[in-house]
Each structure stands twice: as structure tokens, then as C-alpha cells.
Structure 1
Amino acid sequence: MAPLHVFVCLLGLVVLCRSDCFFQGLVIKDLENPPKGCMDEDGKLHDFGSEWTRDCVACSCTEDGMSCCNMIPDLNIVDIPAECELVVNKKACSAKAVLKSDNTKECYPL
């Protein structure tokens, strides 16, 4: 569902939205018995229209397939000033750039 992805990205803009996303198209193997949802990497079936988050990856399932986005920016693609560092909170699925000299002050990407 597009609203979830827009929401996740808008939230991430505050924190450096440059997340990795992927789409896995729905595969119909048997026309007589079409799928009832999307199968995640653990083999769990998620109904069409459902949304879930696991390990800071937000996913949604539509009749076209499964779309997932990492909620934490990839450290390799985030441009932050040299005097800053990226602090990741995996419990809250968030990240922010802070000054290395004072981690109470936020930095902003270049």
C-alpha cells in the first residue's frame, strides 16, 4: 500500500531517508488456486492489504506482490559531515546524525 511507504519515507526524511526498498512480485503457480496473500522470507503468509514490520523492515502485501523498505538508512549511502556520526536505535527503528564531540546535538546530511 502506497500510504505506508509514503509515511515511512516522510518519517525517515527527518532522520535521513535513504532506505533500501525492494518489491517481490506475486507468483501465481496454479490458476485454479490463486494465492491468498504474500509469503515472507520466513514462510509466513500475509493477507492482501496487510502491513507488518519485522527487524526494522516495513512491508505491505497487495495483489501485485510484497513491497518492503528498511526503516534504518544504509550507513554506506548516507552522506554526513566528517564531524558527525550516525547513531542507530534498532529498538525504535530509527537513526540520527549527531556531532561526534557532543552526541546531544544533531547534524544534518550534506
Structure 2
Amino acid sequence: MASLHVFVCLLGLVVLCHSHCFFQKLAIKDLNNTPTGCVDEDGKEHDFGSEWVRNCMQCSCTMEGMSCCSRIPSANTVDIPEECELDVNMEACSFKVVLKSDKTKECNPL
């Protein structure tokens, strides 16, 4: 069972290494009126401890700030053979590496 936990952690690290992430520190403008959560790009407030997905970005809010990582790697972060390309489905927040000549056939990243 321990090896399963190690595998899941390593898999998560691989995804994070190939994802675009950012951290936005919580800004406290008024000490008498401290924030109760994080505010996203749309101006929507998310409670501390909450998690959400927006535009294929997995985000979370802590008392330190908001952290978001793309669920889709960028083409320059994945080693893709020259005959292949990254096929992204933003609606499903998924991707696959396919042959440029036949997008129905998947190929393996290097």
C-alpha cells in the first residue's frame, strides 16, 4: 500500500513539472477588514480551503494566497517527437499527443 502512495505522489510531481503554475499572495489592504478568501481573475471570491477548476486551471485558496496549476501542459514542456503534436481539448481539460499526419493515432512523448 505504501508503494501505491509513493507512485501517486510521483505521478503528481510529473504532472506539476509539466504544468504552468502560479501563486498569488493574499493581499491584506485593511487590517480591520481581513479577507475571508481569495479573489480569482473574474472577481469571484473563494473561501479559504476551497478548490476549483476554471479554464483548465486547478486552483486552491489558503490563508497565504491562491495557487493555480494548468491541467494541460504546454507544448514546450513536453518532449514531443517531431512527427507528433499536442492535441488539446479545453472543454474536457484533456490532452493527447497525436501524429501530425493522422490525428486519430496517438504517439508517445519521448
TM-score of the pair, normalised by structure 1: 0.79
Which blocks of at least 5 consecutive residues in structure 1 are unaligned?
1-5
Aligned residues: 102
Q: CA deviation at 1:84?
A: 1.1
How far apart are the structure 2 equivalents of 1:49 and 1:80? 36
Specify which structure has the bigger relative contact order, considering alpha-carbon pairs within 8 angstroms and separated by 6 or more residues. Answer: 1
- Residue pair 2:99, 2:106 contacting (<8 A) in 1 also: yes
How far apart are the structure 2 equivalents of 1:99 and 1:17? 24
Say whether 1:63 aligns with 2:67.
no
The match for 2:4 is none
Letter of the 1:64 partner, please give it.
E
Which blocks of at least 5 consecutive residues in structure 2 are unaligned?
1-7
Q: CA deviation at 1:17?
A: 6.1
Q: CA deviation at 1:95?
A: 0.9
How far apart are the structure 2 equivalents of 1:103 and 1:33? 54
CA RMSD in angstroms comes to 2.5
Percent identical among aligned pairs is: 67
How far apart are the structure 1 equivalents of 2:36 and 2:54? 21
The match for 1:88 is 88
How far apart are the structure 2 equivalents of 1:17 and 1:100? 25
The match for 2:3 is none
Change (3 A) 1:20 1:92: same
- Residue pair 2:19, 2:77 contacting (<8 A) in 1 also: no
Q: CA deviation at 1:83?
A: 1.5
The match for 2:45 is 45
The match for 2:73 is 73
Letter of the 1:84 partner, please give it.
C
The match for 2:27 is 27
Cα displacement string for residues 35-72 of structure 1 (whole angstroms, at most 9, x for unaligned residues): 00001111111100111111111111001100001111
- Residue pair 2:57, 2:69 contacting (<8 A) in 1 also: yes
How far apart are the structure 2 equivalents of 1:68 and 1:46? 13
